[in-house]
Amino acid sequence: MHDFRMKLLLTLQHSQLRITSGLIAVLILLNGCSTPAQRLDQKASALGYKAQVVKSRDFDHRIYRNRFAVERTAGTLHVYLDGDGTPWVGNHRVVSVDPTPQSPLMLELMALDDQPAIYVGRPCYHGYATNPACTPKLWTDARYSERVVGSLAQVLRQSVQREGADNLVLFGHSGGGVLAVLLANRLPQTSVVVTMAANLDIDAWADLHGYSRLVGSLNPAAEPSLDSAIAQLHFIGGRDSNVPLNLLQPYLRRQPDAQAVVIPGYDHVCCWRELWPKVLEWVAMVGAGTTDQRVLRFLNH
């Protein structure tokens, strides 16, 4: 059974053709009844989020709203963008059939937020990999492509209108931080961008790990600077070997208004939950017009 499953997965990788719904169904049966998308949906339900599907021109996006977004109009809307999930399996040798995050950090962090907030899924994630517009490139080499970023921007414009928001705060972990930065200038309501462990120079990141470069993806380090009115704070874990601090430097050189904070003892996934209440306080302080120096002193205590 294992050899048969691996042959199917390898066929998927090397064909580079659109994944068929039949192949997905077979692979799901081989790997058990519960998919990453189903498990994430169950977790979201347990956290009390309301799920909905929002359509862009080409894609379906899974959206989860916290109770504050459900119960009241959002002047300020917090947007949570998760990491890349599982684009590949087998050490970048086999394309995943469901890239949905198996450990959705941002979904969990949103549970600590007492402001209206939404968790926004990417194109082809959350069980939509069989949609006609989806191909494996959209969660592998082109995971930060114009098609992906443009689709997310369409969905967020709809969300801004639906929630009655005139101010956006974008939060992103890892690859979600890449997307947050790429989205910020496209959404004029954006006032704050916060990333954690984000690979903001995707070429340098690929080179560091010996991966093929993400051909077709947009690289934040090569994009125009964000509007100076957008407050940027980028966290890096002092023990993060996936995205070490030096990978952030090319991006920061092009973004003179951005701030970076190294958190000793943190790595790529640990221990952002402990920091999150402070991050949310920082966002509130920035919204209240707090100066940068006071913000930095606050973060260091």
The DSSP call for residue 145 is B
Tokens of 108: 């969990």
pLDDT above 70 covers a percentage of the chain that reads 84
d(CA 76, CA 151): 22
| pLDDT of the residue at 175 | 98
Strands 60-65 and 50-55: antiparallel
Rounded CA separation 220/217 (Å): 10
Q: Are 234 and 253 contacting, i.e. CB atoms less than 8 angstroms apart?
A: no
d(CA 122, CA 176): 9
Per-residue pLDDT tens over the stretch 252-293: 999 988 999 999 999 999 999 999 999 999 999 887 776 555
What is the DSSP secondary-structure string of 74-126? -SEEEEEE-----SEETTTTEE-S----SS-HHHHHGGG--S-EEEEPPTT-T
pTM of the model: 0.87
Alpha carbons within 13 A on the beta-carbon side of 164: 9
Cα(137)–Cα(110) distance, integer angstroms: 28
Give which of 221, 101, 120, 218 is closest to 169, Cα–Cα: 120
What percent of the chain has pLDDT above 90?
A: 77
pLDDT given at position 291: 53
Q: Which two tokens stand for residue 3?
A: 């050899």
Is residue 246 scored above 50 in pLDDT? yes
Residue-range domain boundaries for the chain: 36-299
Q: What's the fold here for domain 36-299? A: Rossmann fold (3.40.50)
Please state the separation of Cα 109 from the chain's center in Å: 13
Q: What is the mean pLDDT of residues 164-192?
A: 97
